[in-house]
Amino acid sequence: MVRKKNYTDKDKISINNRHVDIFNKSLDAIELILNGFLKDLKKYNQSFLDLPKPIITALDFIISSLTKIQKGQRLALGLDNDLPSDEKEPEVNVIKGVDLEKI
């Protein structure tokens, strides 16, 4: 059986501060990686549509990481507390039966 620990406000503040520090370090690391990629991409003299798959995968990973870091920072800093819950996550609408050739 897992028991929930009752955290004091002081514990919660300490944990949030640690999260913010970790998110900031993560952001610094991702920024360093992204700057290296940007430097290499500036030297790339072919069409960006012809980028090798590993580079595209790495860039996708960086973008995904940035999104997660931002979401974690906003949560740890309480920046989204004022928003209604339906505005925190975007709604995805799926349209079925669309003939893409007629668009």
pLDDT at 103 over 80: no
Portion of the chain with pLDDT greater than 70, in percent: 75
Q: What is the pLDDT of residues 37-58, one digit of tens each?
A: 888 888 888 887 788 888 888 8
Q: What are phi and psi of 59, to 5 degrees?
A: -65, -40
Confidence of residue 92 (pLDDT cuts 50, 70, 90): low
Please report where in the chains the tokens 């897992």 appear, as a residue.
Answer: 2
Portion of the chain with pLDDT greater than 90, in percent: 4
pTM over 0.75: no
Work out the number of other CB atoms within 10 angstroms of the CB of residue 80. 12
How many residues are present in the chain?
A: 103
